[in-house]
Structure 1
Amino acid sequence: MKSKLLITTLLVGTVIIGGCSASSSESDKNETMDHSNMTDEEMANMEGMDHSNMTEEEMANMDNGHASHTNPLPLNNSTGENELALPPLLEPKDGIVDIIAQQGSTEIFKGIQTKTYGYNGSFLGPVIKITEGEKVTFRTKNDLSEPTTFHWHGVEIPGEGDGGPHQILKPGESEDVKFTVSQGASTLWFHPHPVGATAEQVYKGLAGFIYVEDENSKKLGLPSQYGENDFPIVFQDRQFTEEKQFDYQAALNEDGTIGDTLLVNGTLNPKLTVGKEKVRLRLLNGANARNYTFKLNKGDTFQQIATDGGFLNKPTTLREITLTPGERAEIIVDFSKFDSKSNIALVNEVDTILLPFEIDEQKANSTKISKSLNDFAVTDEERNLPVTKKLELFGMGKIVTINGKQFDMNRIDFTQKQGETEIWEIYNKPDMMGGMTHPFHIHGTQFKVVSIDGEEPPASLQGWKDTVSIEPDQTVKLAVKFPNKGIYMFHCHILEHEENGMMGQVEAI
């Protein structure tokens, strides 16, 4: 009886909150997926998701997976009692940026020290500000007691410096990553990427922003005073023990770890003080698995000006925007129409208060946002290119695959010529429980979303992307070009799915 109830519960949940990615082999360009390395039991669980031979404990674990994303743990409302912490701004000195992964403790809860990880500090990291055309050296060092890597998410960088699982730094080791900034203005980020430890290291606090600036961004009249009208904001959810510590292994969910405590820039119960002016919010979903839909509590509109990797062609008016793990968006909120008595806040899809705003009426500026921001376009040539790489995302928990395969560091799944555009077609194959939304991320490039189920993508996605949300039974076509040579990962950015094998490798040659 208990098993029947669990199965019923799982079948009911078809709207999933989560994220993933995809990969395939050059030899697998047909639609038959290679399951040759999977056991009979794994095959039974995968094909048609037949659960008839599963134990009650296994079913309970599945219920803890898919079902927990259908109805995720509710987040706490921010009380707004703490001013939002802002990361320090770090710019190259003689072309060098020093970045140290370290461990320490942080006062997240008043009077209590929580053991945390951070870059150049005990928790999270700085905002690294670099400029297009600049020659930069990231001087990295691992001061943790475990191996790590430094992955530059969204940065167009040679594969040897990308910081994927091949570029491990053992405790005490250092490495210089040298490259020339070759992309336009954008909000990127960095985090670890070691096999088997990425999710836990991010969970403990390893994440930081990267701002790229260019000549165009300086001419647009956008809010750009750091910490005044231009704010980096990373949203993460965590669970704490009774002692107010992280215990990732206890919180671990193989289908994506979700917490009940919201941290914004590492701040518990945050608020953000702004002036009566247009304010630029650079939103990053830095969660392991939770999706965030952002909106204003009074239903007001805002303008989106940028996607993951650069500006939209023009500001797009929205009432809400959803970001899956790894995605970013820049938005402009006009606070000039509010006053100090306004109860204005950023909330999620169920109206949980994520970030209340306090209006400082003494601070007021008039900013005119340019109506033309960029010249991004999917060309007719790109639309007419044939599909050369097909990827199928499938599975759940520990049995997640791309084209029927799990990640193998010694296997190259695709090759692609440097500088040549190819069309990748990614299909998210649903299971009997509906499947999960997978955020698909490709390292080392910014791609174009050509179509979603054969239709033009919405205006909010008509810009450079490195991570795209793919819903169950949805097919997305991407125009992908690698500006540098090297080996790059592509994977689901639900960090637990990535670690369970929903990842592959493409080599740009």
Structure 2
Amino acid sequence: MRLKFLAAPFLIGSIILGGCSASNSHKNEHDMMDHSTMNMENDHASHTNPIALNDSTGQNEIALPSIIEPQNGLVNITAQQGETEIFDGFQTMTYGYNGSFLGPVIKIKSGENVTLRTKNDLLEPTTFHWHGLDIPGDGDGGPHQILKQGQSVDVNFTVNQGASTLWFHPHPEGATAEQVYKGLAGLIYIEDDNSLKLNLPNDYGKNDFPLIFQDRHFTDEKQFDYNAVQNADGTIGNTLLVNGTFNPKLTVGRERIRLRLLNGSNARNYTFKLNTGDAFQQIATDGGFLNKSIELHEITLTPGERAEIIIDFSKFDAESDVALVNEENIRLLPFKIEHPKSSSTAIAEVLNDYMVTEEEKSLPVTKQLELFGMGKMVTINNQQFDMHRIDFTQKLGETEIWEVYNKPDTMGGMIHPFHIHGTQFKVVSIDGEDPAASLQGWKDTISIEPNQTVKLAVKFNNKGIYMFHCHLLEHEENGMMGQVEVK
């Protein structure tokens, strides 16, 4: 099978509104019952007894998105629909950016002035949200900035943050979950002077790879079946796609390989580890590098979170069976090792100068948020989202401490990945303790477990109205979202 992207248009049925998404715990993954025969909406129990993903057979070399860079400061991004050959002999109706499925990597540089020329060629309204980007509120792409069919708008900003792996996706009220499910997701790479001095693998497609993990459900005709599996506590699927590739494998050399991991699923969590039991190095969080690489045997990402890791394949040979697996040892991505051993040098010991200052640690809490509920009864501070209501205000350039509590219910509650638009925040503490080393870097999305309290140091560098919400896409649509106005 080879992944084919076609631009042929097709008609889409009406968008499914509402829905809801839920994340599994670090120990349990989301549910999966037979979604082809029952609608899982509002079935909390399904998330404590998940259906496993398929094991990747490694039949298909993973697809890699194209890279686009500004030309005279301009990047063109079009949301469109088409057909994609995900399975041999079948054309699946899909959405994509600048193509029929998923999107390109937009590569920009710190300090660069960029104009993103966005256009909507879908048959329905959409927005363009730049997840993790430090950007003025009127260009952030939240539900206020709707583009109707055929409309185009320019988003101009100066890149004001360091090297990082971000992403972009739609954010229309009531339609985000299904539009992402159908394929609207792409990556943003920011480079800076520091990132080029660290001896990190940075040869795209050779030792530096983007990996977008998404679970989906297909009909017998190999079409996405969002309606059948839509779940008020999280729409999940039993079929794994990585960069849109079914049964993927990744061919690598015997050298250090950099993997940029994105959990692009509506609701499912992923715990990544190597089937060999070997350790790997984490070098970056959502918004940039850690101060130094840390050794891990596994890492869990909730929806919206990213991490960059490095695996040293020089210890393996062409006959080695090496794969990324999850906590159930399902093979997510097998590796084929075939290139000669490289003489790559060790990465720099110091990667960044991130720190939570003593002043930030001593700041009082000025914003308290309580996440609560499941299904269509999700709330923040006992309220559901209202586009006409501003929940908080914050001064431009001023750091505040947000305290976010995930209140459990009688069924125990669910993990909520909490996301703030238009900024990167610092994790000051989790239940009063310092965050794990893997979280000691810039973040825009953080996993909050039931009965857990996190303190975040939040500063906005631009004015505007920004969303904060659970990144379980259906929870967001069901009302677990609020607005902060930066003045």
TM-score above 0.5: yes
Matched, 1:468 2:446: yes
Q: Which residue of 1 aligns with 2:240?
A: 262
Shift of 1:247: 1.9
Q: Which residue of 2 aligns with 1:370?
A: 348
Give distance in 2, aligned partners of 1:403 and 1:279: 43
Q: Which residue of 1 aligns with 2:432?
A: 454
Larger Rg: 1
Give distance in 1, aligned partners of 2:155 and 2:39: 41
Q: Which residue of 2 aligns with 1:251?
A: 229
Per-residue CA deviations over 1:237-282 (Å, capped at 9, x if unaligned) read 0000111101211110110101000000000000000000000000
**Equivalent residue for 1:156, pick from 134, 140, 146:** 134
Matched, 1:340 2:306: no
8 Å CA contact 2:40–2:46 kept in 1: the answer is no
Q: Which residue of 2 aligns with 1:69?
A: 47
Q: Which residue of 2 aligns with 1:5?
A: none
Give distance in 2, aligned partners of 1:15 and 1:432: 20
Mapping 1:31-430, distance limit 5 Å: 65-362=43-340, 364-430=342-408
Query: Which structure's relative contact order is higher, taking Cα pairs within 8 Å and 6+ residues apart?
Result: 1
Cα separation, partners in 2 of 1:432 and 1:63, compared to 1, 3 Å: farther
8 Å CA contact 2:140–2:466 kept in 1: the answer is yes
Q: Which residue of 1 aligns with 2:412?
A: 434
Mapping 1:477-496, distance limit 5 Å: 477-496=455-474
Per-residue CA deviations over 1:124-153 (Å, capped at 9, x if unaligned) read 000000000000000000000000000000
Q: Which residue of 2 aligns with 1:443?
A: 421
Shift of 1:65: 2.8
3-state SS in 2 of match to 1:256 = coil
Give distance in 2, aligned partners of 1:321 and 1:416: 33
Q: Percent identity?
A: 76
Q: Which residue of 2 aligns with 1:503?
A: 481
Q: Which residue of 2 aligns with 1:34?
A: none
8 Å CA contact 1:347–1:354 kept in 2: the answer is yes
Cα separation, partners in 2 of 1:77 and 1:101, compared to 1, 3 Å: same
Give distance in 1, aligned partners of 2:382 and 2:404: 13
3-state SS in 1 of match to 2:43 = helix
Structure 1 runs not aligned, ≥5 long: 1-12, 19-59
Q: Which residue of 2 aligns with 1:27?
A: none
8 Å CA contact 1:154–1:466 kept in 2: the answer is yes
Shift of 1:66: 1.9
8 Å CA contact 1:73–1:258 kept in 2: the answer is no
Per-residue CA deviations over 1:197-254 (Å, capped at 9, x if unaligned) read 0000000000000000000001001000000100000000000011110121111011
3-state SS in 1 of match to 2:194 = helix
8 Å CA contact 2:379–2:480 kept in 1: the answer is yes
Give distance in 1, aligned partners of 2:266 and 2:210: 18
8 Å CA contact 2:39–2:230 kept in 1: the answer is no
Per-residue CA deviations over 1:273-328 (Å, capped at 9, x if unaligned) read 00000000000000000000000001100000000000000000000000000000
Per-residue CA deviations over 1:7-44 (Å, capped at 9, x if unaligned) read xxxxxx997657xxxxxxxxxxxxxxxxxxxxxxxxxx
3-state SS in 1 of match to 2:252 = strand
Letter of the aligned partner of 2:96 in structure 1? G
With normalisation by structure 2, the TM-score equals 0.92
Give distance in 2, aligned partners of 1:338 and 1:314: 25
Letter of the aligned partner of 1:242 in structure 2? D
Deviates more, 1:240-249 or 1:382-391: 240-249
Cα separation, partners in 2 of 1:274 and 1:15, compared to 1, 3 Å: closer
Shift of 1:365: 3.6
3-state SS in 1 of match to 2:361 = helix
Deviates more, 1:156-165 or 1:240-249: 240-249
8 Å CA contact 2:122–2:149 kept in 1: the answer is yes
Shift of 1:494: 0.3
3-state SS in 2 of match to 1:423 = strand
With normalisation by structure 1, the TM-score equals 0.88
Cα separation, partners in 2 of 1:192 and 1:125, compared to 1, 3 Å: same
Give distance in 2, aligned partners of 1:493 and 1:371: 33
Give distance in 2, aligned partners of 1:122 and 1:62: 28
Shift of 1:366: 1.6
Give distance in 2, aligned partners of 1:417 and 1:311: 27
Shift of 1:364: 2.3
3-state SS in 2 of match to 1:322 = strand
